[in-house]
Amino acid sequence: MNNNLFISYDLNRPGQDYPSIIETIKSLGNWAKVQKSFWYVKSNLTAMQAVERVWAHMDANDSLIVVDATNNNSAWQGLNPVVAQHIKEHWASTSSLRV
């Protein structure tokens, strides 16, 4: 099944491996770079699977969120706990995921 994934990330330390992260995002499916750190990918992966693949190339002090617009869910790593809680409380569906 093809999912419409929106991927956003922040790398919070100088010297990060941007090429590795970008190539990983591109490998997830048919992609478009919407903004500097915001991507659209048509992928057969779930939000959780996409987070697992991209997060493997990031550091613990970074942040990543993948929103699956097809299935109305999301997954993330490294979000500020206040922001993560806000998303969980206000998401329009109970299918929101947190890694």
Euclidean distance between the first and final Cα of the chain, in Å?
A: 22
41-69 pLDDT tens trace: 999 999 999 999 999 999 999 999 999 99
In this prediction, residues 72-80 reach a mean pLDDT of 95
Q: Under 8 Å CB-to-CB from 14, ≥6 apart: which residues?
A: none
Mean of the per-residue pLDDT values of the chain: 91
Residue 7 has pLDDT above 90, yes or no: yes
Instruction: Identify the residue whose tokens are 């109305």.
Output: 72
What's residue 54's pLDDT? 97
The whole-number pLDDT of residue 97 equals 52
Question: At residue 93, does pLDDT exceed 70?
Answer: no
What are the start-end ranges of the H helices in 6-80?
A: 18-27, 47-55
Distances (CA, A) of 36 to 32, 33, 39, 41, 64: 11, 7, 8, 14, 14
